[in-house]
Structure 1
């Protein structure tokens, strides 16, 4: 049986990924510190083994027998990274480079590093993976440093792949409402209104969490020589929007007439992504996921199963209240 390790497997993307991996017949080992007070995954007869651990403390013996590794554990927002810059460098860069090297030396064959499209700057044309990056924030700098360090480890027996992901949306058992589409959908359904930063003209690339996981699984199936050492943008050209257009789009899907408020100064950080490499390598061209993703999320919000109001769903606020507290 194939053994797949997922660090951060109790998190927002991790919960969806772990369930999908189990459905393929893999034995899944989840490593998670549970920073956001999530219930641990796994249990008897689930196909999931759980290690309550920080990735910085993993030993080679714990990777023995692991075939594939998804390294999702990270400080996951710009706000949390700005709040905790040293921790961000320790985990997002140093910790992931260390774990990738440990995986290589322990016989892990394939290593996938989720990064972020935040490493790109702002321009009208879509960014391709070979374009020059413009890493301005701590979050982007740490992600890019990890990318470079991990890719240098590529060899005939170790296949690292970097995914520069668009902004994710959609329901997960471990929700996040510090992501634009999720936050707006929750506000529309609970308050009938939502807030748009600046004038709303800034454009962003998005990806439904279930589509993202489909790409993750596809990258496990392909021959090493086809994927090794690649950086791949992950998202959908049909899911790129001006932020100011989102309330109307989401309102139509959820059946709510939105009231829209604006705050802050105009945000000129617009960018798009090219998905040519994703299509060439995987054969996948993700369609627009907004209707399906928001419909599923709205169903869970209305059913009370989407953690609306849970403080842990806004990661920077949670880290400020817990990690930065005098008792931590």
Structure 2
């Protein structure tokens, strides 16, 4: 397991995972459109950056690849609902195609980071595990479940397939996101001394720090085949199952400032409490971080100026911004430029008339 292809490598999780893999001695093929900038990955002699859309991967991308970590996704519910067709193409169809290409090209191991959101809404007393009935409510969750259902049957003795159902991720990343629960709460507390909280605060969510979930990805690259092949693992910790109201209280208590909670929106009906015993018992892995740890980490970076909220840190806003500027540039582009133009291109067009 020395050569790893990572899709979505410039994203929130990918920009934490790739440096970690390089530090551990892996060679990495980092595949992404890099909507949020290629600068999120620092140059490294064992890093190959591949600017490509996951929907256009082909056999050549998998030559000499030992393992694939298929992170790519339209990565939150608001984006999934606005771009429904694209979300199914990327989160479902492209990931299934990537798994099939990997298997065809002799890749040994395929890791699919999916989501606990596929549990959707559960009875208030239920604690769901990997064999519980799922109930995906959003396009993001439904497309993730479809990907799971089609990649797991590809597993055999030569092709290891494992699914990670990740809890909601939080913590600092070079491609920062403030549209995630704990991150957004922390930013509100830092900026306005207010934690914004969607009503009514009783809904359950499992949480996991981005360092913890990327540690699991590294672990799955080396885990014994018989322990993981064809398996689904909930990735998180029982300690980090939170009702959102008490979660906000924990964040407030962790920060060195006085904050208050401000409610917004209609009640969120997604609620699921997750059992994480399987990963502990099978792989002897436990999460290191709590919500308080992640909140304090983000707060300190905001305080010292190494982190700021920008358009890029709200995923849907940035997609909309890119689409707007793509339209503007297409309308005014002429002869290969805006103010500066390609004179050779003008000459070639004149001569071809």
TM over 0.5: yes
SS at structure 2 position matched to 1:12 = coil
Q: Is the 8 A contact 2:177 2:315 kept in 1?
A: yes
Q: TM-score, normalised by structure 2?
A: 0.88
Which 10-residue stretch deviates more, 211-220 or 240-249? 240-249
Distance 1:36 1:288 in 2: 26
Flag structure 2 segments of 5+ consecutive residues without an equivalent: 331-353
Distance 1:51 1:174 in 2: 18
Q: Is the 8 A contact 1:238 1:287 kept in 2?
A: no
Q: Is the 8 A contact 2:7 2:54 kept in 1?
A: yes
Distance 2:196 2:287 in 1: 28
SS at structure 2 position matched to 1:271 = coil
- Specify the alignment match of 2:256 in structure 1: 255
Greater relative contact order, per chain length (Cα 8 Å cut-off, separation 6+)? 1
TM alignment of 1:7-86, pairs within 5 A: 7-39=7-39, 41-45=41-45, 47-86=46-85
Distance 1:88 1:3, change over 3 A: same
- Specify the alignment match of 2:138 in structure 1: 137
Distance 2:173 2:245 in 1: 25
Kindly tell me the number of residue pairs found equivalent between the two proteins.
326
Q: Is the 8 A contact 1:5 1:69 kept in 2?
A: yes
Distance 2:191 2:250 in 1: 17
Q: TM-score, normalised by structure 1?
A: 0.94
TM alignment of 1:223-262, pairs within 5 A: 223-262=224-263
- Specify the alignment match of 2:110 in structure 1: 111
TM alignment of 1:240-319, pairs within 5 A: 240-308=241-309, 310-319=310-319
- Specify the alignment match of 2:163 in structure 1: 162
| Structure possessing the higher radius of gyration over alpha carbons | 2
- Specify the alignment match of 2:92 in structure 1: 93
Distance 1:178 1:21 in 2: 26
Q: Report how far residue 38 of structure 1 moved.
A: 4.9
Q: 1:103-160 deviations in whole A, cap 9, x for unaligned?
A: 0111111111011111113222211111111122211111111001111111111111
Distance 2:103 2:302 in 1: 42
Which 10-residue stretch deviates more, 107-116 or 212-221? 212-221
Q: Is the 8 A contact 1:92 1:146 kept in 2?
A: yes
Q: Is the 8 A contact 1:37 1:312 kept in 2?
A: no
SS at structure 2 position matched to 1:39 = helix
Q: Report how far residue 236 of structure 1 moved.
A: 1.1
Q: Report how far residue 99 of structure 1 moved.
A: 0.6
Q: Is the 8 A contact 2:205 2:243 kept in 1?
A: yes
Q: 1:219-246 deviations in whole A, cap 9, x for unaligned?
A: 1121112110111100111112121223
Which 10-residue stretch deviates more, 131-140 or 144-153? 131-140
Q: 1:63-84 deviations in whole A, cap 9, x for unaligned?
A: 1001011000110001101000
Which 10-residue stretch deviates more, 275-284 or 168-177? 275-284
Which 4+ runs in 1 deviate beyond 6 A? none
Q: Report how far residue 269 of structure 1 moved.
A: 2.4
Q: Report how far residue 184 of structure 1 moved.
A: 0.7
Q: Report how far residue 316 of structure 1 moved.
A: 1.7
